Chains A and B, each alone.
Chain A
Amino acid sequence: MIRSLSRTFIIFKMYRGRLILSQVLLLVSASSTIGVATLTQRLINDGIIAQNLEVIIDIGLWMAVLALVGGLSMAATAALAVFFAQGVAFGLRKYAYDNIQTFSFANFDVLRTGNLLVRLSADVNYVMLAILYMVMLVLYAPFMVLVALALTAIFAPSMLWLLILASVVVLGFMALLLPSLVKAYYERQDKLSDLNNTMQENLAGMRVVKAFVQEEREVEKFHDRAEAMRKPAYRAAVRVALMDPMLIMITQFFIALTLWVGGRQVIENMGLELGQVVMVMQYLAMVIMPLSMLAIAVPFILRGDTSAARIFEIIDARPFVQDKPDARTLNPEEMKGRVVFENVSFAFRRPDGKLDPPALKNINLTIEPGERVGFLGATGAGKSALVNLIPRFYDVTEGRITIDGVDVRDIPQENLRQMVGIALQEALLFRGTVHFNLKFGNPEVHDDVMIGAAQAADAFDFIMALPQQWDAHVARRGYNFSGGQRQRLAIARTLTAQPRVLILDDSTSALDVATESRVQEAIPRFTDNVTTLYVAQRISAVIDLDKIVLLQNGEIIAQGTHEELMESNQLYREIYESQLGAGLKPSSREAAS
């Protein structure tokens, strides 16, 4: 029933002593509760009814000691339960995240990041709660019930059926109420997330709302969602609120029943004493409370099991790209940077694990050391896919890619990515300092390299303008920098690592053309003879490179210099006209030349 959850029980094996201690203490606290109940009734019989003051004080003191012992051992159990619950949460957070760090790009395509995050946060919390409840209740409730039943069987066997009936009624009642409560609650949460999404969209699209003066319609939409939440919210709230009075009712009803059944036996002298009746009354509470608590815990435990399964899916996932056992480490300093695609085909993997139609088909391409090559093509033409294959973010489906004649799949990933640097379009920085971010790819490197890289990426001036310069704070994802600044910092970060093959995957899209040209001119000056691959949407980004590769539907349809392509390729001319030529009047062309 709880197969996935039980995989977390490894922590119990690691800390067997603590587990045993927690359960022993739990039983001590349960026993002291029972002891107090038993003593209460002795105090009434032997003390109050017998009017023996000595006994009253004697037993009273013992009860106080028991109450204290019970309280302390329950506190200690709680501490241990928290240790296990938080310990499991810690372990899951660590091992799941550690395994994510071995993932390849394709793993992220299959297990989406949003999905991963939910599992790392909400699901871990559910497991944590499940463990907490299990340690504190799974043994406690049955133990209390069994002891109460046993004591009743010994001291008032004629009343045993009452306790059994009470247990059945409580469990039956909870079994009726809980599923509908849980259902109403989930429905409420569903509607709440609809409502929150509506608000989120409204806030994110506030400019659109205001531009079309649609505030009223937005309020109406929100009203509908808020209205939809009211009913399930009410159903959940009223069920939660009713649980307590219902349990009180059940308890009081069984107390009356006990008094009736027991009272008759006492009055009719059937061998039962008043004290025994009062004792059974107390055992009733001992049965009803723990059982209802256990019933409340069961949905949490089941939920925890589902969550555990989702987390173990992360922990069990294996990276799609793996190092070969006989992979050979190359010396980056001896690399020339000649990249060759030999008949390469590639397809992405869908979330269900199957392959999409090929994104790249029969790519043959040679890039010489130190060459500057641009990749141009429509969205989805396969530009990014092509360059992602070089540092093995994905492995080719067919064919092979070599660097200086060595198949990239025969090089350890770590080593390969030391030689191949890439700056991505979405220039994400990490929280920390500018210094930390720039040296992200090579923390050991000398400051001079970092400074040179920042200059080449046209980032030096604005870094210097910051109050704390290299130590300036970078917020999460780099949001305290503008898009253009982030992209320049990301390029500087890639340059600081001094790769032999440099890939700029549409990483200058937020820069204006003048800045872009400055960066492109500065890079060769910073790293001598680095092979550079530019992926771009803008023709001005590739116009003066050694070679431009034009891609369409996953195939190379033309390659050559700007002049050659203008001459030979219709699509290239179209792109040029559309981006730089459209609307050009004859007079302005004269003025330009």
Chain B
Amino acid sequence: MTAATATKTKPETAAQKAERKEDFIPIFKRLLDYMTRDEGAGKFYLGMAVRFVAVAALIAIPFMTGNAVDAIAGGDMAALQAWLMAALAATAIFIALSAWAETIFSKLATTALYRLQMHLFGHLQTLSLSFFDRQPVGELMSRVSNDSEAISIFYESAVSQLIRAGMQLLLLLVVMFFLNWQMTLAALLIVPVMLGLSAIIERVATPAFAKMQEEMGELSGFQEETLAGHKVIIANRRNDWAAAANEAYAKRVFDVGSHAFFSSLLQTPVTMASATMMIILVLTVGGLLVANGQLSVGEVIAFMGYAGLLASPLSIIANLTSTVLNAIAGGRRVFAIIDEQPAVKDAPDAKDYEFKGGHILFEDVDFSYTPGRKILRHNTFEAKPGQKIGICGPTGAGKSTIINILTRYYDVDSGRIVIDGQPLEKLTQRSLREQVGVVLQEAYLFSDTVMNNLKYARKGATDEECIAAAKQANAHEFIMNLPQGYDTMLTERGANLSQGQRQMITIARAMVAQPKILILDEATSNVDTRTEKLINEGLARLMEGRTSFVIAHRLSTIQDSDRILVLNAGEIIEQGTHDELMARRGFYYDLYMSQFKGKGP
């Protein structure tokens, strides 16, 4: 199951490690595909070609300066001038073509990242809620953003640099062998040592950085928790505990951080020392060859230049290994999401829902979020067109679950739901949700203007319709009192409004949608009395003439329902009107009376 890899945070098993190696190439290719698809392929090859010429020009430079040195040694002014002009020309070609290639690759890189972001985001929109239930939003979000950042570094620097380094390495080796194979072999003697050392550093540094990230995560997790909970700590006088724990976490970050940074910083001296060794080898062997009369001094110096050019691509490749591995790891997780299939799908023969008054029937419905843990059992009830159905029961009885399956956020395990004679599972999700309006307990608003939040409910809704809806929902007055009225920007989650005001906007929003059927998760528990009155009036207007379900936390809201369903542990244990249920002196009666604590009416 792909989802399993997506949510994996535990240490890997040996089998997973094997799988990791195996999928390296496919993921690499898939990542690269975002760069090279469509018109990208042509540009990519053009970039490679341009880069190739640029690298060739770069490699030609030491040859020319070498000849210039020979010209100085030979006292040939004209030759010196000619070779230097050639070197300058090669430099000019190099910089012009490099700039061109970098432009191409940077464009490709940002386009690739953009494509991947769009693909991922677009796909997330198609997934069912069950996917989002598997992990807290914060966790999913931080994973996705970290992974795309790792991939963006891969696109923006690794791809282009690897191409450049690879070409430079290849061309250099060819030229060097062509010029003098003995010196080339001498220069290459040091390469295995250098690569070996780099590989060791890599082996140590990469896990050390991962460990550091982990410890930093622990530290900031702790700090976030204790700062958010500062009131609890102050109230319980545990500041010393918090300070000591923080120091322990910070100490661990210090230890692993020192380890990680030190090991990665070793790469520089290793590269520098290896480059020097390479030059020493070249010069020693070169000196011997000059002494034998096989080479000129200028050629040795030119070769020294090549040896210097060889060190840089090698260290680039060594340095980029971790970047590539990080991007592959990120890609693996991102593609796991992209490959995820929505749990709730429209049936192949799905039809659009046709509204015929709003008659809803639950027949022996069973439901569970996770297999084996039934949340709803044998739920059977009927809502006639225009009826108000109240749902009550203790916390965790399954009240909100009824909403989730009626809007088909989830599919039922067994039994069936029929809406206006049409089986729910044969309807398209879109047509169903366009007709079924939901006001959720958590009044969620987007950081946008009030007007845009209202318009969110229905494409093409006019300003007038939205204002009319706001008036109906009793929201108009306070909206007009906001600094910019309907154009006031709401901050994230609408934090600059009170909870009651947010709730009123969500009610207005639901009105804009003009749904035929309504579901309300009543949420007035943290609202003062006056506001609550306004909200209830708004809700009453919203429900007028529509089949509606009201989940009640306060029984007074559903007292006038046409039918009240009393849920306990997933089963409907009583149903009827308020009066019927009170007369029965059962579960509902106890629930109702407990509110008064003996001081009842």
Q: Kindly state the separation between the CA atoms of A433 and B109 in the bound complex, as whole angstroms.
A: 47
Q: Is the CB of A441 within 8 A of B437?
A: no
B234: min CB distance to chain A, Å: 7
A259 within 8 A of B: yes
Cβ contacts A567-593/B at 8 Å (1 or 0 each): 000010011001111111101110111
Q: Chain B: which residue is nearest A576 at the CB level?
A: B529
- How far apart are A47's CB and chain B's nearest CB, in angstroms? 5
Q: Which residues of B contact A589 (CB under 8 A)?
A: 601
B118 CB to nearest chain A CB (Å): 6
In the complex, are the beta carbons of B456 and A214 less than 8 A apart?
yes
Per-position 1/0 for A465-489, Cβ under 8 A of B = 0000000000011010010100000
B315 → chain A, closest Cβ, in Å? Answer: 12
**Residue-by-residue, is A113-138 near B (CB-CB < 8 Å gives 1, otherwise 0)?**
10011001100000000001000000
Stretch at the interface among A90-98, A301-309, A351-359, A362-370: A90-98
Q: Is the CB of B69 within 8 A of A477?
A: no
Out of B99, B102, B235, B598, name the residue touching A441 (CB < 8 Å): B235
A121-B220, A245-B98, A259-B80 are known contacts. Are A83 and B258 too (CB-CB below 8 A)? yes
B243 in contact with A89 (CB, 8 Å) = no
Is B395 part of the binding interface, using a Cβ–Cβ cutoff of 8 Å?
yes
Q: A101-B243, A207-B409, A219-B121 are in contact. Are A117 and B224 (CB under 8 A)?
A: yes
- Name the residue on B nearest A97 (C-beta): B246
Q: Which residue of the partner chain, among B121, B235, B272, contacts A74 with CB atoms under 8 Å? A: B272
How near does chain A come to B565, taking the closest CB pair, in angstroms?
Answer: 16
| Chain B contacts for A67, CB-based, 8 A | 272-273, 276-277, 280
Q: CB < 8 Å: which of B88, B117, B288 contacts A53?
A: B288
Q: Which of A150-158, A162-170, A196-204 contacts B (4 or more CB under 8 A)?
A: A196-204
| Contact between chains at B261 and A562 (CB < 8 Å) | no
Tell me the smallest distance from the CB of B209 to a CB of chain A, in Å: 13
* One of A10-18, A232-240, A446-454 at the interface: A232-240
List the B residue with the shortest CB-CB distance to A66. B276
CB of A207 within 8 A of CB of B440, answer: yes
Cross-chain contact B447 with A201 (CB below 8 angstroms):
yes
B459 located at the interface, meaning its Cβ lies under 8 Å from any Cβ of chain A in the complex? yes
A226 touches B118 (CB 8 A): yes
Q: Chain A: which residue is nearest B298 at the CB level?
A: A274
Contact B269 A72 (CB under 8 A): yes
Contact check, A256 vs B65: say whether CB atoms are below 8 A apart: yes
B357 interfacial by beta-carbon distance below 8 Å = no
A218-B582 contact given A197-B492, A441-B236, A477-B225, CB 8 Å threshold: no
Bound complex: CA A98 to CA B233 (Å):
13
A62, closest chain B residue (CB)? B280
Of the candidates A207, A391, A493, which one forms a contact with B444 in the assembled complex, judged by CB atoms under 8 Å apart? A207
Q: Which residues of A contact B437 (CB under 8 A)?
A: 211
Stretch at the interface among B70-78, B325-333, B470-478: B70-78
Q: Is B191's beta carbon under 8 Å from chain A? A: no
A-chain residues with CB within 8 Å of residue B600 when the two chains form the complex: 580, 592-593
Cβ-defined contact, A40 with B237, below 8 A = no
B84 and A540 within 8 A (CB): no
CA distance A199 to B160 in the complex (A): 29
- Decide yes or no whether B423 CB sits under 8 A from chain A: no
Stretch touching chain A among B23-31, B124-132, B363-371: B124-132
- List residues 71-114 of chain A with CB under 8 A from any CB of chain B: 71-72, 74-75, 78-79, 81-83, 85-87, 89-90, 93-94, 97-98, 100-105, 108, 113
Q: Which residues of A contact B509 (CB under 8 A)?
A: 212
Contact A482 B396 (CB under 8 A): yes
> Is there a chain A Cβ closer than 8 Å to B291's Cβ?
yes
Whether, in the assembled complex, A337 has its beta carbon less than 8 Å from a beta carbon of chain B, the answer is no
Q: Is A509 an interface residue (CB 8 A)?
A: yes
* Chain B interface, >50% SS class: helix
Q: Tell me whether B253 and A252 are in contact (CB under 8 A).
A: no
Contacts of A510 in B (CB 8 A): 395
Q: Are A105 and B234 in contact (CB under 8 A)?
A: yes
Secondary structure class of chain A's binding surface, majority of residues:
helix
Chain B CB within 8 A of A248 CB: yes
Inter-chain contact B102/A274, CB cutoff 8 Å: no
A259 to B71, CA, bound (A): 10
**Is B496 in the interface zone, CB < 8 Å from A?**
no
Kindly state the separation between the CA atoms of A120 and B253 in the bound complex, as whole angstroms. 13
How far is B231's CA from A441's CA once the two chains are assembled, in angstroms?
12
* Complex contact B251–A203 (CB within 8 A): no
A266 touches B396 (CB 8 A): no
Q: Cβ of B111 < 8 Å from any Cβ of A?
A: yes
Whether B438 pairs with A211 at a CB distance below 8 angstroms is yes
A49 at interface (Cβ–Cβ under 8 A)? yes
Q: Is the CB of B95 within 8 A of A245?
A: yes
Give the shortest distance, in Å, between A132 (CB) and chain B (any CB).
7
Given contacts A48-B290, A100-B227, contact A60 B95 (CB under 8 A): no
Other-chain residue from A82, A210, A267, A413 in contact with B77 (beta carbon distance below 8 A): A267
- A579 contacts which of B137, B226, B529 (Cβ < 8 Å)? B529
Assembly CA distance A575 to B533 (angstroms): 10
| B284 & A512 in contact (Cβ 8 Å cutoff) | no
CB interface residues, B 218-265, toward A, < 8 Å = 219-240, 242-243, 246-247, 250-251, 253-254, 257-258, 261-262, 265
Residues of B within 8 A of A324 (CB): none
With A49-B297, A230-B111 known as contacts, the answer to whether A479 contacts B136 (CB < 8 A) is: yes
Tell me, yes or no, whether B517 is within 8 Å of chain A by CB.
no
List of A residues within 8 angstroms of B117 by Cβ: 195, 222, 226
Interface centre among A71, A264, A571 (most CB of B within 10 A): A71
B-contacting 9-mer, from A173-181, A326-334, A342-350, A417-425: A417-425
Q: List residues of B (296-310) whose CB comes within 8 Å of A's CBs.
A: 297, 300-301, 304
A274 engages B444 (CB within 8 Å): no
Q: Does B402 contact A (CB under 8 A)?
A: no
Which residues from chain A contact B58 at a C-beta distance below 8 Å? 248
Q: Is the pair A78, B283 in contact by a Cβ cutoff of 8 Å?
A: no
Please name all residues of chain B whose beta carbon is closer than 8 Å to the beta carbon of A564 when the two chains form the complex: none
Let me know if B91 and A252 touch, CB within 8 A: yes
Whether A234 pairs with B110 at a CB distance below 8 angstroms is: yes
Contact of A113 among B227, B582, B591, B597 (CB under 8 A): B227
Complex formed: what's the CA distance from A79 to B590 in Å? 71
Query: Is the pair B526, A418 in contact by a Cβ cutoff of 8 Å?
Result: no
CA A74 – CA B353 in complex, angstroms? 73
- Cβ A245 vs Cβ B99 within 8 A: yes
The answer to whether A218 and B72 touch across the interface, beta carbons within 8 angstroms, is no
Do residues B529 and A574 form an inter-chain contact, with CB atoms below 8 A? yes
**B407:A424 contact, CB within 8 angstroms:** no
Q: Looking at the assembled complex, report how far the CB atom of A114 sits from the nearest CB atom of chain B, in whole angstroms.
A: 9
Q: A573 CB to closest chain B CB, in angstroms?
A: 10
Smallest distance from the beta carbon of B284 to chain A beta carbons, Å?
5
Is the Cβ of A212 less than 8 Å from the Cβ of B458? yes
A81–B529 CA distance with the chains assembled, in angstroms: 62
Establish whether residues B597 and A517, one from each chain, have CB atoms under 8 Å apart when the complex forms. Answer: yes
Tell me, in angstroms, the Cα distance from A108 to B227 when the chains sit together.
9
Check B238 against A203 for contact (C-beta < 8 Å).
no
Residues of A near B446 (CB, < 8 A) are 201, 205, 208
With beta carbons under 8 angstroms apart, the residue of B229, B257, B269, B554 that contacts A86 is B257
Any B CB within 8 A of the CB of A186 = no
Tell me whether B554 and A579 are in contact (CB under 8 A): yes
Check if B502 is an interface residue, CB within 8 A of chain A.
no
- Among A86, A229, A422, chain B packs the most CB atoms within 10 A around the CB of A86
Taking a contact as CB atoms under 8 Å apart, the answer to whether B229 and A430 are in contact is yes
Given contacts A199-B141, A441-B236, A514-B594, A71 and B270 within 8 Å (CB-CB): yes
**Cα distance A100–B229 when bound, in Å?**
12
Top 4 closest A-B pairs, CB basis? A378-B528, A71-B273, A67-B276, A441-B236
- 20 residue pairs of the A-B complex, CB under 8 angstroms, read A40-B279, A40-B283, A53-B288, A56-B284, A67-B276, A71-B273, A78-B268, A93-B250, A101-B242, A113-B230, A230-B111, A249-B94, A266-B72, A428-B228, A431-B225, A440-B232, A497-B236, A510-B395, A581-B601, A584-B559
**Apart from A53-B287, A229-B114, 12 more pairs, CB < 8 Å:** A81-B265, A108-B227, A117-B224, A199-B141, A217-B459, A219-B121, A241-B102, A248-B94, A252-B61, A424-B232, A584-B601, A592-B582
